[in-house]
Structure 1
Amino acid sequence: MDKTAVFIDNGYLKKVQDEMKIRVDYEKFSNEIVGNGDGRFRTYVYDCPPFQSNPPTPEEIKRKSGFDKFKYNITRLPRFEFRTGRLQQLRDDHGNVIQKSDGTPMLKQKGIDMALGIDVTKLSATKQIQKIIIVAGDSDFIPAIIAAKQEGILVTLYYSAGTFLHDSLYEVCDDRVIITNELMSKCIRAFPQ
């Protein structure tokens, strides 16, 4: 039975890949973390397109093109869905854009956690799944995890010891698995995704 759904916050997984200097094949990664005992219902990948100034710089155009190619390739994998959020510039109390030390604007993802929470809640409430695997580090969708658990869904968190992990997310999940170099090495991407 295909009763396990995988939810990937791609901003988080990109940090894990950068930390380990490994690029994974998302289909291999999803199948590896689901394992042989459970079937994979579907994998949901959540990400935002990169920031584009007006007009965009050549580097921003290149990053956007890479994002579009990644999204295109993910959506063509079997049983994969791609959910897109947006980036918002952070502003101070006076409405001025807050900038990093290099002069680029500070940005925050918007819509990703809400989309992930809605998908978790909907699939759980309609009994389409029995188990959830989450690859993430922040706590914004904890209410959705709690709702899923109340529906009898088992929730497993995959996380990296080297990247940020919110304590509340760790505590609310039923099981926790550290993403190791060994796991990532089993899923190395053979060509760009």
Structure 2
Amino acid sequence: MSKGKEFVKDTIVTAILVDGGFYRRRAYARLGDKSPKERADELESYCKRHLNEKIYGIQTSHRLYRIFYYDCLPVSKNIYNPLTKKQVDLSKTDTYKWATEFFDFLKEKRKFALRYGQLAEGQAHYSLTEKTFKKLCNGTIKFEDLEEKDCILQIEQKGVDMRIGLDIASLAYKKQVDQIVLISGDSDFVSAAKLARREGIDFILDPLGAPVKPDLFEHIDGLRTCDSNFKISDKK
């Protein structure tokens, strides 16, 4: 048996960390629109596919430590839409209802831990979509041609990346797991990935088929996406 094969443990304890906003956007674009329950079941099934892995050609046994899911609760405030010139009660929207139900289904799942950041409600605003803005600039459409779908709500997340980074550090320092799988496309986790590797953690990145920046790619132990549907080119 080679030295590499001798290194493989009989059972690898794996924690899976999911950047929720990133997963939901990517899944919607690649796997289509689904009900809250369907999306929650899909996420659970997808995460567990990471537990079926071969290392050095050896089928490895994984034990799931926990699936950590990071996201922000939906906003329930009233906000003015300058295009329709109306106040919108966000708590009555389909988006609010879908997200609330989705989180409730995740809470019911075994081995799931939800970590909430916050949405910057005070900075929430409506803005034109990028496609619509370009059409206005090149004269393809006029301002009076704008429709409600051309205006989208923009709310920035706060605290999600910080919570992911803290959990990576805690898992690594306390030696609670052998492997961390991070489902995200964010390069802000370079420091956390480096720390985990220094502590002997096998750090796997799953960008769901999205491009990975070189500075993050340099500091991971493996790159793995478990569904070929995510690997469809982003080019139109």
TM-score by structure 1 length?
0.79
Distance in 2, Cα, partners of 1:180 & 1:30: 11
Deviation at 1:134, TM superposition (A): 0.6
Contact 1:137–1:169 (CA under 8 A) maintained in structure 2? no
User: Is 1:84 the equivalent of 2:132?
Assistant: no
Residue of structure 1 aligned with 2:13, choices 3, 14, 31 = 3
Distance in 1, Cα, partners of 2:212 & 2:202: 19
Match of 1:20 in 2: 30
The letter for the 1-side match of 2:216 is L
* SS of residue paired to 2:180: strand
Query: How does 1:38-187 map onto structure 2 within 5 Å?
Result: 38-54=62-78, 57=88, 60-61=91-92, 62-88=94-120, 99-101=126-128, 102-161=150-209, 163=210, 165-181=212-228
4+ residue runs of structure 1 moved beyond 4 angstroms?
102-105
Deviation at 1:175, TM superposition (A): 0.2
Q: Work out which structure has the larger RCO, using CA pairs closer than 8 Å and 6 or more positions apart in sequence.
A: 1
What is the RMSD of the two structures over their aligned residues, measured on CA atoms?
A: 2.7
Q: Report Cα offsets for 1:3-62 as digits up to 9, x if no partner.
A: 100000011111221221244522211211121621111000111123443268356533
Distance in 1, Cα, partners of 2:78 & 2:174: 43
Unaligned stretches of 5+ residues in structure 1 = 92-96, 185-193
Deviation at 1:181, TM superposition (A): 3.1
The count of aligned residue pairs is 178
* SS of residue paired to 2:46: helix
Distance in 1, Cα, partners of 2:68 & 2:202: 17
Deviation at 1:103, TM superposition (A): 4.8
Larger radius of gyration: 2
TM-score by structure 2 length?
0.66
Match of 1:94 in 2: none
Deviation at 1:165, TM superposition (A): 3.6
The letter for the 1-side match of 2:199 is E
The letter for the 1-side match of 2:77 is S
- Which structure has more strand as a fraction of its residues? 2
Deviation at 1:105, TM superposition (A): 4.8
Unaligned stretches of 5+ residues in structure 2 = 1-10, 33-38, 53-59, 80-86, 129-149, 232-236
User: Structure 1 10/116 Cα, relative in aligned 2: closer, same or farther at 3 Å?
Assistant: same
User: Which moves more between the two structures, 169-178 or 112-121?
Assistant: 169-178
Percent of pairs with identical residues? 24
Deviation at 1:99, TM superposition (A): 4.6
